[in-house]
Structure 1
């Protein structure tokens, strides 16, 4: 199993840990300390050694920040985690004021006074974040001070897990589609055009993509924790623990890349600074510590790899399609098993569902990892957007409830992410109505046609219109980018209120509107879609792009109210199911094939 179900053991120790932190703050002359969930690479998913936020607060979500002052503490999370934060961090120890980006500054203004000092770990905050905080709180007389050693590490002591040392592995050209030399040349071309001498790459995704390598440093993410410096001319430098480099990786990197130990990064940056070089640094992604090391040599600029890797090349697109057929067959076999077990009266619980689904993916013989901890939410647990089942929260799938399962896989040829909401027994009229409203939003995205220059924020309302008309909504983005055997969450593209990146052909994005009734049920329908090349429709005047749906798994027809769908929406659903039957059916037999035939009938 790639997923474990042990309940977090931090909760009972949290009060003493907060007390210990406050004692350290007093010793350091600090009035507060801010701690995000993150690592020196600003990763969304982190290795156990960097789970400082969970250790200190008990909150286990993938995004959040805590501010601990002398007498108060505030935990800040986004809309995906409000329910989870109340559950994991209740009891009055923390204020739960809202989203960090908007709520942290007013909270600090309220709790602190003029002259107070806020400590921060310079490796855990981006340059832009610290700039924003300093600018916002300077009028209140509140200052920010970097600390040399994170006080959480002092408190955690020897019990803190060791940093990961997963092996570095070559990513075959069959799946990468472009050589590392070609990618490096593209990055160097950008630097020369912009008059810059080098770029510091801080995102492991970028480093892995650029050099065609993968790793095992972070659960569910085939990445290597490493930094790189790419000069406008000459060999790039990869800063990675030498014990991670396998013989195969050394052979692939030899000649094209110079490898050095991570400790050498600081001196390399200082050398660039002393030479007066212009060094590109992504202030929205890079740690503040790196900007401090570069000083005036740091030039603000986006990581050039981000936009390049977001647009998949033909080999990556071919791999994504193959991965989704394979994955679709595994998920269909799971859903057929689930329906059969429930019909036979077997009481399935959330953990059994997770293990059964992972077993189906493992049976393909191609599974390298799951792409994130499976969200297996029965009844009210489905309303927790990023719910993670544990032995303590495990719940049976009960009759006349909804079951939400959001999962994904890592294959060499592609990364998958799919959510299906399943009726257990007889769903209520309200459940069916709201499922159908979510489906209408899903279809609106799937069938969208849009011109060049369209951004994710332009498309996001398509998914919400039907819900808005009924006074309903959801508090997360509609879609995120997907990597190619990399992170399941990839920028710059997204379909969301914050989606300012232009949608480009070759990008893969999720389409996942939802609805959540706290304490009752959750609904989400998620497919991955590929942005197609622009073309002019018949009798049209402008080129428009569209989405090709990659995910191939039936949507639960038992939850659809046909009367709420337009004829075009009915046509899309029937056409989608016909395609699922045609592409997945040949990979199935027996009970699973029979189930698929029934599940893909026209509505």
Structure 2
């Protein structure tokens, strides 16, 4: 079926059920960012492959709501699909709800698959459209027309040893139960896969790039159930969980257990990380506490073992990046290098490192104008050759058994313009500004976001995405609860959190520049004014200084860069051969 044919088929089902609007979110029953193929409904229906969007279909309109990161990509991929791009004014806001309120007649029926709608979104729809007397219906129209739909993943899962993660499962459950007790909660439903992985020291390969396992958990005061098909775990791992008083039962049995919760009890459900379908299985009399998973806060603060292992992992990743830079610089215009072949080569260099498991996300390798697309993913159709001209942006990361990496660098390939040099220097200055900042305890992410942007704001420049996101430990490359963006999220930056700092400049049709390091929040000083924190740069890879306009940098930025490069050379060079050491020495020389 073509995309217009799929749209027509869905509209026929809507007409049959008297449905005025059908919503397709980018989600699964675990409200994941990265989805198993089974739940990639939006790519199937529309052809759009971006990781975040929402589709709304009515009788006479079919729209895909996406933010500025995807405008160019969506306009290209939606051509002749029957779907139109609707540009979000603000990232992460469900603006289509107001649109539905304006367009739909009173008493209309809206349908969606409750397994792919978060509790938060479901309640928001009910609240914002209440004045319209709208009713809602649980329907999976996509599933009805997707005849060759992929199966749910069924990959093996495994447990990590306590010495690898630094904390045992019983210890983590004790911390979670302590939080539940303070909130006077009897039960806790966990659906988010990274929380599941952290709580139970559980890893797998059910979802691309994220070492997670399709699973749920129901935590009670005296027992725990994991909803995970038992054949995924070895007998030894099942015995380990059993010894920790954790029972493993079938993945599909959660709904029936939720229905049996006593009506005089209470349950904590994270409205952002649980689906509406499971929420509705809880009996009406049960008090539902809608709060963030306790594990989300606990997971974000890395322990000493996780921090030490992550530091070691960054050195290995830095060696792989150095080898990659050397290969690109020495082979451009000598052998054919394309965006796709470069990404494959980089993966190969990472694979040489001990403990490498896979990539932490799909590498963004954007040459020239493609670099201006923040979430560009090269395809055989879009792939271009990298030449000794312009800028080459590479945003990539690795999953290692002892940590997760995420790094962006831009390689000047030659014949660069003055505009490119200025833009490059200002992005570098902004990244350094964020990395070197000192801030009082209690500072929130939006304040770091503003501090990082200041050097660019001085030149009336800006970027449409956030400055940074949390990063897991051999887990998801994006994790909360803290985030560095313009939204006034009242979550303080805690000691032990790992976050990216990644400002950028994107000139559509010309070039894109983004430079990214991961940083660890550490203690700095304390006095009568407050405790002050700082960032330790975990990422250890050279930053190309070919285009740097030194006159645009302040002394503090120059000192930071030179000290950083000295550390990069000292820590990464022992993993390199003599030629690679010489290359790294040149890349990290003081400016």
Is the 1:379–1:403 Cα contact (8 Å) retained in structure 2?
Answer: yes
Matched, 1:350 2:342: no
Match of 1:105 among 97, 108, 133: 97
Counterpart of 1:230 in 2: which secondary structure? strand
Per-residue displacement from partner, 1:153-181 (whole Å, max 9, x unpaired)? Answer: 11002x10000111110112222100001
Give the equivalent residue in structure 1 for 2:382.
393
Aligned counterpart, 1:459: 448
Name the CA distance, whole Å, in 2 between partners of 1:41 and 1:268: 17
Secondary structure of 1:502's aligned partner = coil
**In structure 2, distance between residues paired with 1:527 and 1:182:** 31
Report the CA distance shift for 1:55/1:586 in structure 2 as closer, same or farther (over 3 A).
same
For 2:342 and 2:416, locate their aligned partners in 1 and report how far apart those are by CA, in whole Å. Answer: 20
Give SS of 2:219's match: strand
Contact conserved, 2:355 with 2:402, CA < 8 A, in 1? no
Matches within 5 A, 1:173-188: 173-188=162-177
Aligned to 2:68: 79
When structure 1 is superposed on structure 2, of 488-497 and 83-92 the one drifting more is 83-92
Alignment of 1:510-589 (within 5 A): 510-536=500-526, 541-589=529-577
- What residue is the counterpart of 2:136 in the other structure? 145
The Cα shift of 1:534 comes to 4.9
Helix, strand or coil at the partner of 1:123: helix
> Could you say if the C-alpha distance between residues 92 and 355 of structure 1 is closer, same or farther in structure 2, counting changes exceeding 3 Å?
closer
Match of 2:396 among 391, 407, 424: 407
| 1:506 and 1:533 in contact (8 A); partners too | no
Matched, 1:471 2:460: yes
1:120-159 correspondence runs (5 A): 120-139=112-131, 141=132, 143-147=134-138, 149-157=139-147, 159=148
Structure 1 position 21 matched with structure 2 position 13:
no
Q: Give the alignment of 1:328-343 within 5 angstroms.
A: 328-342=318-332
Q: C-alpha distance in 1, partners of 2:65/2:529?
A: 48
CA contact (8 A) 1:117 1:145 kept: yes
Please identify, of 243-252 and 91-100, the stretch whose mean Cα deviation from structure 2 is larger: 91-100
Q: How many residues align?
A: 584
Which digits, 9 at most, give the CA deviation of each residue in 1:439-491, with x for residues without a partner?
11101111111111111011111121122222221110100000001100000
Cα gap change, 1:142 to 1:436, in 2 (>3 Å): farther
For residues 433 and 410 of structure 2, the distance between their equivalents in structure 1, rounded to whole angstroms, comes to 18
Given the two structures, how large is their TM-score scaled by the length of structure 2? 0.96
Tell me how far 1:251 sits from its aligned partner.
2.6
Partner of 2:337: helix, strand, or coil?
A: coil
Deviation >4 Å, runs of 4+: none
Does the 8 A contact of 1:400 with 1:428 survive in 2? no
CA contact (8 A) 1:325 1:584 kept: yes
- TM-score, structure 1 as length reference: 0.94
Match of 2:499 in 1: 509
Q: Deviations over 1:104-142 (max 9, x none)?
A: 123223432222211111111111112222222222x15
The match for 1:223 is 212
1:35 aligned to 2:27? no
| Other structure's SS at 1:238 match | strand
**2:475, 2:14 → 1: CA distance?**
38
Return 5+ residue gaps in structure 1 as ranges: 1-11
2: CA distance, partners of 1:372 / 1:564: 33
Could you say what the CA RMSD is over the residues aligned between the two structures, in angstroms? 1.5
